[in-house]
Amino acid sequence: MIKKRIKGNYNGQKAIVIALLCFYMALVIVPFVILVCGSFSSSDAIKDVGARPWIQGFTIEAYQLVFENPYQILKSYGITILVTVVGTVLNVALCSMTAYALARPNFKFKRILSFFYAFTIMFQAGFIPTYIWYRNYLNIYNTIWVLILSPCFVVGHVVMLRAFYSAVPKSLYEAVKIDGGSEFRMFLTIATPLILPGIATVAFYTVLIYWNDPFTAMLYTDDIVPISLYLTRLQQYIALLREAAAGKMGGINPGDVSIPENTLVFAMAMVTSAPIMFIFVFFQKFFLGGLTAGSIKE
Amino acid sequence: MKKRKLLLTCAGLLITSFALSSCGDDSELPLDYVDNGEEYKLTYYMVYNDSQIPSDMSTVERRASAILKEKINSTIEIIPYTYAEYTQKMNGIIATAAKFDVCFTAPEVNPYGYNIKKEAFLPLDHLLPTYAPKTWESINSNIWNQIKVNGHIYGSINEQIFPRTLGMRAKSPTNIQDFLNENYDGIKPSEIYAHIEDPYDFVEEYLRWLKLNNRGNGGAISEIHTESYLMNYAGYDDLCSGITVPGVINISDTTHTVVNQFETQEYKDMIDLVYKWKNLGYLKVSSNYDITPDSTWKPGYLSNQMMRLSDPHYFTTYVCGSMNAISSTSKNPARAMKFIELLRTDEELHNLLQFGKENTHYLKDPEQPDRIAEFISGSGYNNENFGWGLGTEFISYLTPGQDDDQWEQVKKINDETELTDLIGFRFDDTNVYTEVSNCRNVVNTYIEAFAKGEFDESNKSSTYQKFIEDLKNNGMERILKEKQEQVDAYFANK
């Protein structure tokens, strides 16, 4: 259909727009091609000439280093996937329910709750109080729960979803009420399906949050290692070795280990972002819908 | 309006109650502890110096428990954290006042002074001589004095190399060998210091040679390492406060005058040298350097690449570089002290924590009982790079490539280097805390750029003037005065 429209209204202006868009697309895609090719290139070649959008001296040494410990990598992927799936479902459920409540004009505690949520955006407790809270009171330190619960409520998502819920026509709510439907039924079967694009957008953001979060695991667990933390540690250690090689740390002997440090970052980026790309394809159709939602005001 | 007030009050109350609960009681900690002899489970937070935490901690833990059960009727839980994460992790653990016994501490990692202020560590003045006599005797009493805070010792020093020697690491062993063969009759990199007048002239000569012969990357160097230059080369002792805090004393100065290291002739010379090398094309931005400026040369450490450029000297900062501390939450400090002593004296325990279990994690050299032939890769444990944090380095097995008399050489340097009379003095920054942190920020914004020659040469002297002015505006004079007063008081009491 899109093709037809372009063909039908073809003129010079459109051509310029299309050319510009193609140029922009190239700007976005070329770095990605560099990333893929860089991860398969040899580290020395990259050092001498820099990363290029083609493969220089094909090698998989960077991947070998990343996948040095296959059992650990599989375990880490398992943890990440579990946390992401459970966490996303929980996050979307909590955020949409909150947003729905805040969007309803007859909700009594709307103002006070909004104040609390806004407060947490501006003021955060910081590391130590959070640590004490998780470890001594909630007892979720070093369990899978800390990874799921820590980022499971995002005020930004609530704000976004509230706007979506507010856009649902008020007359719909009234109709349900007259037919005797409960508030929960209204939320679940009427309002939420109407704002599915919004839900999908939030869900996708949430997936990203859970997927790319090494810090929760780093701070609040001892031996649960999601894939993001695994790679962060690898990177930290290489930075340490580089410092040691520069002689800034007397204690550490970097030895003669050759590390493909220039290509390793590429391989690491590939390992983390490849699964996300598949997820994006899945979410994409909702995004197109989401873009037009809210474009018409009553 | 009323509601809001109530809310604010509630929030205020919450905050104050949290703040109050984090304060400890001020009662004096007892120094004397007795071991009741009952079985006790120790908790030890260990640095695991590798990219990941070990996948096979349990084997090591089980074996360590077996050794400790036999020797001191204890079992042990070892929790490993990577070097990069250790400080943050311990920060949380100490904040929750969780029960543990032993942890690693250093001036910058799991910071020693900071944790003492939080009363996280126990004073060990009585415990050390009573339960760890060998550790106590093996280290010079002046060095013990060096780590005293408010008159108490809070850490057990790990034995390693104490004095520092200026070194430069050449990237290519063949280049340095050819250079020495051509110009210095083939002396070893570790003996250069005896044949040269000035270390930095020698480095320049090497860089010139590389450029002339088109070797390596044509004589490329990234920076002159400020700390290494001011301390190891120029001989300024930072009084245990870090080189980024103004106020140092030259180790050869018998009058003990505190000076600002950034106003010394040596520092000005260093900046001139940076720009000289930059103009000659040696100092540049590259990913492939022929020489890395180094702070320390040690025997047996990269012996074909490290050039030794000076005599060893003691500095106050470096003798307290690695310690073990006992937590104030420990239920049995005496037993914890015995464990620290065993780390230093029990060869099996020490090497178990460093290299893992024989035949599981490494294979021994059949001809030499104290040498490791091969590490088994993927075996899940190798803390090879943390020997300097496990009591002592001197009972570690030798790893492939180390000299047979590795540890004897280190011991010899420790013993033969003369202690300076500054060893034992520790600057206490309580009175000038704000000035110290302000000046540190100023210094950090400038020195890296000066060391790399990042300022335009025409602005060099005006930027330098501004640097010194900024320091003065941020209370440098007060720090210098405070340091001088403390030094004077220290020598008056001595």
Residue B14 covered by a domain: no
The answer to whether residue B16 sits within a structural domain is no
State mean pLDDT over B36-54.
89
Count of positions (residues) in chain B? 494
Cβ of B83 under 8 Å from any chain A Cβ? yes
- Other C-beta atoms closer than 10 Å to the C-beta of B337 total 27
Render A171-191 in DSSP notation, one character per residue: HHHHHHHHTT--HHHIIIIII
CB contacts of B169 in chain A (<8 Å) are 245, 247
A246 in reach of chain B (CB within 8 A): yes
The band of B1, judged by pLDDT with boundaries at 50, 70 and 90, is: very low
- B298 and B321 in a single domain? The answer is no
Query: Of B427, B444, B476, which closes a domain?
Result: B427
Do residues B100 and B93 lie in contact, with contact meaning Cβ atoms separated by under 8 Å? yes
Domain stop point among A15, A34, A59 = A59
**CA pseudo-torsion sign A119, A120, A126, A128:** positive
Same domain for A83 and A35, yes or no, is: no
Give me the pLDDT at residue B16, please: 47
Which tens digits make up the pLDDT trace of B373-384? 888 887 889 888
Q: Which are the contacts of A119, defined by CB distance < 8 A and separation ≥ 6? A: none
Task: Tally the domains of chain B.
Answer: 2
According to the model, what pLDDT value does residue B27 have?
A: 41
Question: B366 and B291 in one domain?
Answer: no
Read off the pTM. 0.82
Is A203 part of any domain?
yes
C-alpha count within 13 angstroms, C-beta hemisphere, residue B244: 15
| B479 has a pLDDT exceeding 50 | yes
Q: What is the pLDDT of residues B382-408, one digit of tens each?
A: 888 888 889 898 999 998 878 888 899
Does residue A139 belong to the interface with chain B, where contact is any CB pair within 8 Å?
no
Each residue's pLDDT tens digit, B425-449:
888 888 898 999 999 999 999 998 9
- Could you give the CA distance from residue B95 to residue A184 in angstroms, rounded to a whole number? 43
d(CA B254, CA A129): 49
Tokens 């210095």 locate to: B184
Contact A233 B51 (CB under 8 A): yes
Flag whether residue A251 sits within 8 Å of chain B, measured between CB atoms: yes
Dihedral, CA of residue A259, residue A261, residue A264 and residue A266, to nearest 10: -160
Tell me the ipTM for this assembly.
0.77
Question: With an 8 Å Cβ cutoff, is A47 touching chain B?
Answer: yes
Separation in Å, CA of B50 to nearest CA in chain A: 7
Residue B311 three-state SS: coil
State whether B88 and A68 contact (CB < 8 Å): no
Question: Cα separation of B330 and B73, whole Å?
Answer: 16
Amino acid at B256: H
Whole-number percent of chain B with pLDDT over 70: 93
> Is there a contact between A253 and B169 if contact means CB atoms under 8 Å apart?
no
Tell whether A126 and A173 lie within a shared domain: yes
- The alpha carbon of residue B234 and the mean position of all alpha carbons in its chain are separated, in whole angstroms, by 20
- B76: domain range? 28-160+316-427
- Are residues A100 and A180 located together in one domain of the fold? yes
Q: Which residue of A has its CA nearest to B91?
A: A128
Same domain, A39 and A68: no
Is A131's CB within 8 Å of B95's CB? Answer: yes
Residue B9 lies in a domain: no
Q: Using CB atoms within 10 Å of the CB of residue A182, give its burial: 0 to 12 exposed, 13 to 18 middle, 19+ buried.
A: exposed
Query: pLDDT tens, B8-34?
Result: 554 554 454 444 444 444 344 456 677
Query: Do B193 and B323 share a domain, yes or no?
Result: no
Strands (E), A96-207: none
pLDDT tens-digit series, residues B107-158: 888 999 889 989 999 999 989 999 999 999 999 888 998 898 888 999 999 9
Would an 8 Å CB–CB cutoff place A124 in contact with chain B?
Answer: no
Residues of A in contact with B81 (CB under 8 A): 222
Cβ contact B416:B311 at 8 Å? no
* Residue A225 belongs to domain spanning: 62-292
Which residues in chain A have Cβ-Cβ distances shorter than 8 Å to B18? 129
Same domain, A117 and A133: yes
Q: Do A219 and B92 touch (CB under 8 A)?
A: yes
- C-alpha–C-alpha distance, residues A154 and A120, integer Å: 10
Q: How many domains does chain A have?
A: 2
Flag residues of chain A having pLDDT under 70.
1-10, 47-48, 244-260, 287-298
Domain-located, residue B483 = no
Answer yes or no: do B129 and B184 share one domain: no
Query: Is A297 inside any structural domain?
Result: no
